[in-house]
Amino acid sequence: MRRTPVRGDGLLSAAAAVAVAAALVLALVVAPQDGVQGVAQRLMYVHVPAAWVAYLAFATVLVSSVLYLVRRELRWDRYAQAAAELGVGLTALAIALGMLWGRPVWGVWWTWDARLVTTAVLLLVYVAYLGVRRTADDPHVAARRSAAVGIVAFLNVPVVHFSVVWWRTLHQPPTVLGPEGSPPIHPTMAWALATGVVAFTLLAVLVVRRRVARLGAEAADPAAVPPGREAPPVVTVVPRAGR
Amino acid sequence: MNPPTARRRALSLRLLVVVGAVAAALALLGVSGLADTLVYYRTPAEVLAEVPAEDERLRLGGLVQAGSLERVGPEARFTVTDGVASVPVVYLGALPAVFAEGQGAVVEGRLGSDGVFVGDLVLVKHSNEYQPIGEAG
């Protein structure tokens, strides 16, 4: 696959690799096993970072959308698109990991409590946002519509986060970003979680920068065939002459 | 100049996808029953204050009272309490591995006329505390 070079990516990739390695060791080896939930609790070290970095991605969509409307530069629209695509993927990941965690601990893969329902709605809303992005051929018309939806859609994020505080749910209330001061979590577990969040964030920044660079290159040179849509290489099979 | 028909068709297809996704989101809210979702379970005090109809399916949630769990053959009996009131539960089936006395649980089922809640699904509601064995607060 052809790569779009982005300045500073080398350093960022190295930092991400170190953070991922550290997060894996902390989450799987160093962090103690949870007294109640056992080994399944270790899913927290990926489930929570996936959810938080999804929030961060949607916040990026919000800020980029506002910046587009203020400056009318398509660069910000590309940031919004890249962040929304990543946010959708991470929300789906958080749901999938949450299901894997819920089955052994709660006893069910899925249940209709407020946290789970609002998260599913969040995912669908941003899938719809990605659809809205492609409803106009004029890039500025598409960017304007997307920016409006990208700003309003962010209302879902606080609803998801506070669903476990506002309403009575099966999902536990937040441990770290909760209303109370000191989080009820063992310090080593908190470090493993923090390292996981750093790793996910660095990877997210890397992915969004690459995607924005690629979208920019495509916009600058519309004649260039986007990757994945090239015609497959023609393979000609010439029968060998029989001996 | 009119855009080519193929492009117009592609546009309406995209619009269809968007409208479909929004409709799916609304349908999801409808299916889940917004009221049931906002209050996922009722506490023993609420159930006793407003006794549900005998055929009404509901979720009862609270703490599994310490010392109340007994297993008789395939049947589990325990008491769910909220500190104010408590409701005895009978459940036929395997309890989740994490289920324990003194921990949170949500039981789906019906309240019998004898005041015993007949559960057909037991869910564990764990707290937001994470501590290794022996240090659980």
A29, A191 Cβ separation under 8 angstroms: no
Strands B104-111 and B75-81: unpaired
Q: Is residue A215 pLDDT above 60, yes or no?
A: yes
pLDDT above 90 (res A243): no
Q: How confident is the model at residue A171 (pLDDT cuts 50, 70, 90)?
A: very high
Provide, as residue numbers in chain B, all residues whose Cβ is less than 8 Å from the Cβ of A127: 21
The tens digit of pLDDT for each residue in B79-101 reads: 999 999 999 999 998 888 899 99
Quick: pLDDT tens for A103-123: 999 999 999 999 999 999 999
Average pLDDT estimate for A134-159: 93
Interchain contact, B130 vs A175, CB within 8 Å: yes
State the pLDDT at residue B136.
47
Chain A: closest CA distance from residue B136 (Å): 7
**Could you tell me which chain A residue has the CA closest to the CA of B24?**
A124
Q: What's the pLDDT tens digit per position in A23-56?
A: 999 999 999 999 999 999 999 999 999 999 999 9
Residue A232, pLDDT > 60, answer: no
Cβ under 8 Å to B: A residues 157-176? 167-170, 172-175
* CA-to-CA separations, A168 to A83, B34, B36, B88, B123, in angstroms, rounded: 31, 12, 10, 22, 15
Interchain contact B130–A (C-beta under 8 A): yes
State the Cα–Cα distance between residues A12 and A185, nearest whole angstrom.
30
In whole angstroms, give the CA distance from residue B99 to residue B91: 13
**Of residues A115, A97, A111, A167, the one with CA closest to residue B121:** A111
- Average pLDDT score over residue span A227-242: 59
Model pLDDT, residue B109: 95
CB contacts of A114 in chain B (<8 Å) are: 37-38, 40
Chain A residues with CB-CB distance to B119 below 8 A: none
Burial of B131 (0-12, 13-18, 19+ CB in 10 A): middle
User: DSSP 3-state assignment of B104?
Assistant: strand
Cβ of B32 within 8 Å of Cβ of A134? The answer is: no
Instruction: Give start and end residues of each alpha helix (H) in chain B.
Output: 5-32, 34-38, 44-49
Those residues whose C-beta lies under 8 Å from the C-beta of residue A189, and which sit 6 or more positions away, are A31, A32, A34, A44, B130
- What per-residue confidence (pLDDT) applies to A4? 54
